Structure 1
Amino acid sequence: MNKPMPSASPSRGPSDHEVRAQIVEAATEYFSRYGYEKTTVSDLAKEIGFSKAYIYKFFDSKQAIGEVICANRLAAMIAAVSENVDDAHSATEKFRRMFKTLLASGSQLFFQDRKLYDIAAVAAASPWPSVKGYEEQIQRLIADILRLGRETGEFERKTPLDEAVNAIFLVMKPYFNPLLLQYNLDAADEATVQLASLVLRSLAP
Structure 2
Amino acid sequence: MTDGSPSPDTTRERIIAAAEQLFRDIGFQKTTVADIARTLSMSPANVYRFFASKKDINEAVAERMTGRKRNRIEAVAKEPGTARERMRRLLTEMHVMMAEFADADAKIQEMVAVAIAESWSVIHNHIRDLDTIIANVVREGIAEGEFSDVDPEVAGPCVRAAMTRFCHPSVLVMCRDIPQPTLDEQIDFILAALGAGRQGAPRRAGETARAS
Mapped partners of 1:84, 1:189: distance in 2: 26
Aligned equivalent of 1:15, options 7, 26, 36: 7
Q: Per the alignment, in what secondary structure is the counterpart of residue 36 of structure 1?
A: coil
The structure showing larger relative contact order (alpha-carbon pairs under 8 Å, at least 6 residues apart) is 1
Equivalent position of 1:75 in the other structure: 67
Q: How big is the alpha-carbon RMSD for the aligned residues of Structure 1 and Structure 2?
A: 2.5
Query: Which range moves more in the overlay, 17-26 or 87-96?
Result: 17-26
In 1, are the aligned partners of 2:132 and 2:153 still within 8 Å (CA)? no
What is the DSSP-based 3-state SS (H/G/I as helix, E as strand, rest coil) of the residue aligned with 1:37?
coil
**SS of residue paired to 1:124:** helix
Q: Which is helix-richer, 1 or 2?
A: 1
Instruction: State the Cα distance separating 1:64 from its structure 2 match.
Output: 1.0
Amino acid in the other structure paired with 1:172: M
Superposition pairs for residues 145-160 of structure 1, below 5 Å?
A: 145-157=137-149, 159-160=150-151
Matched, 1:202 2:196: no
Q: Match for residue 155 of structure 2? A: 164
Distance 1:185 1:79 in 2: 27
**Shift in Å at residue 44 of structure 1?**
2.9
- Tell me the equivalent position of 2:209: none
Per the alignment, do residues 123 and 150 of structure 1 end up closer, same or farther by CA in structure 2, a change over 3 Å counting? same
1:85-113 deviation line (CA, Å, top 9, x unaligned): 32241111111111110111122233232
Alignment of 1:1-80 (within 5 A): 15-80=7-72
- After TM superposition, the score normalised by the length of structure 1 is 0.80
TM-score (norm 2): 0.78
Structure 1: segments with no counterpart, 5+ residues: 1-12
Question: Aligned-pair distance for 1:140?
Answer: 0.8
Count how many residue pairs are aligned between Structure 1 and Structure 2.
Answer: 192
2:182 aligned partner = 191
Contact 1:103 1:176 in 2 (8 A): yes
Task: Note the residue ranges of structure 2 that are not aligned, 5 or more in a row.
Answer: 197-212
Shift of 1:189: 9.8
- Equivalent in the alignment of 1:9: none
Residue 129 of structure 2 corresponds to 137
